[in-house]
Structure 1
Amino acid sequence: MKKRILLIQGHPDSGKRHYCHMLEDAYAQGALSGGHELRRIDVGKLDFPILRSQEEWEHGVLPPSLEGAQQDVRWAEHIVIFFPLWLGDMPALLKAFLEQVARPGFAFTRNAKNPFGAKGLTGRSARVVVTMGMPAAAYRWFFRAHSIKSLERNILGFVGIAPVDESLIGMVANMDAEAANKHLSKLEKLGRAAQ
């Protein structure tokens, strides 16, 4: 079954080519070879302000530079988010992007019957692809993958995106070519299957 897939590159350094970009390209190659429709957002190339208050988030105007991103999220059936683990979490620029895009009235709506919010992005699935310097097993079991769980539950799940799968790739700085290519091959297969 063909899907509409949105790839969100969350590495803030768009001036250099990082392993996150290679993983995204591998997934994209697989998705296109599988006949899926594909759109891409490179957060590092976008210019937008950070939100500084709840009032601004709830009642402010979405920056024009992010209108296309919201349209892409609405269009997508499957969303894949790529980012490096920085200080145990996603980079601040990616978090700022998600805060801007996932605004009330778009990602969820509140009313008297449902003060916690009706999910606005149901019917979409996601995959989170995270690179890190530590072993992925250490992050998953010792640190309990806290930031990934927060992203899955408090952002993606809150707006109705489910299921959410994850690909945690550790020891990136010390990875040899064989291991790097193995992960790229896995991402290409996931892209072909739209998973």
Structure 2
Amino acid sequence: MKKILIVSAHPDPRSLNSALTTFAADHLREAGHDVRISDLYAMKWKPTVDADDYPDHTPDHRLHVMAASEQATLGGRLTPDVAAEQEKIRWSDAVVLQFPMWWFSAPAILKGWIDRVFTSGFAYGLQVPPPYAESALTGRRALLSVTLGARETSFSDRGIHGRLTDVLHPLQHGLFCFTGMTPLEPFAVYDANELPEDRFQAARQAYARRLDTLFTADPVPFRSLTGGDYDRAMRLLPGRERPGTTGLDLHVR
């Protein structure tokens, strides 16, 4: 049995994203796993970082978020909602983020969950191992399950929106890989604004296959910061990439 946290970010419980969240939870539980769900809209999640997140902060001092979050984290002084979500992540063997792509990114409420929950001293910072390596949250698998209104071809190598791999890089590399989690290839449902029953059933079947390999599929082979590929300035050393490789692909082995 494994423990999986699903973080869902859609305002309507009748939405495709909510249906995929319910389906994933049911499918994983039927396989014998333990599943918890953080439905951010149902929780009325506060999406903004501010001084209220840090009870020890005094208004006569500037708010330095990294320092304040580290002090609150290490001192056990985080707000109860943030502390509860951190405990869910510590509990988990895998984290699934379920969301619609809005303006080429995650909904603000999910970004706010990341901003508030992944504090210094918990997910990064001087008190935890270095990033892009065996870091703070190592040992947890991470899957993005995203719905998109556009067609798949528009998110291809020659598509006008760019490759989905590049659009999701801030989450795959900048969140998961940075904190030591193991990112998997994302699961995507395209043309999601109008999804007839036959395509919904096909999407469910495809998602079931991905969930069945949540702990066995090969991860995205991002380079480790401590693997000898980067110099002290965190730049990839010359000659480490295949000839002709450019852009974000430089950081994939």
Q: TM-score, normalized by length of structure 2?
A: 0.68
Residue range with higher mean Cα deviation, 159-168 or 45-54: 45-54
Q: CA deviation at 1:190?
A: 3.3
Question: Identity of aligned pairs, percent?
Answer: 23
- Structure holding more helix per residue: 1
- 1:59 alignment counterpart: 68
Aligned length: 191
**Secondary structure at 1:119's aligned position in 2?**
coil
Matched letter for residue 29 of structure 1: D
Residue range with higher mean Cα deviation, 102-111 or 36-45: 102-111
CA distance in 2, matches of 1:137, 1:69: 36
Q: CA deviation at 1:56?
A: 2.2
CA distance in 2, matches of 1:191, 1:118: 24
Answering whether residue 12 of structure 2 is matched by residue 21 of structure 1, we say: no
CA distance in 2, matches of 1:137, 1:9: 26
CA distance in 2, matches of 1:159, 1:114: 8
- Structure holding more strand per residue: 1
- 1:8 alignment counterpart: 7
Q: CA deviation at 1:101?
A: 0.8
Instruction: Please show how residues 73-152 of structure 1 align to structure 2 within 5 Å.
Output: 73-110=89-126, 119-141=135-157, 142=159, 143-145=162-164, 146-152=166-172
Q: 1:157 to 1:173 in 2, by over 3 A?
A: same
Matched letter for residue 45 of structure 2: D
- Whose RCO is larger (CA < 8 A, sep 6+)? 1
Instruction: Please show how residues 171-190 of structure 1 align to structure 2 within 5 Å.
Output: 171-190=191-210
Q: 1:68 to 1:139 in 2, by over 3 A?
A: same
CA distance in 2, matches of 1:87, 1:27: 25
Q: Which ranges in structure 1 are unaligned for 5 or more consecutive residues?
A: none
CA distance in 2, matches of 1:128, 1:28: 15
Q: 1:177 to 1:48 in 2, by over 3 A?
A: same
Answering whether residue 89 of structure 2 is matched by residue 70 of structure 1, we say: no
Larger radius of gyration: 2
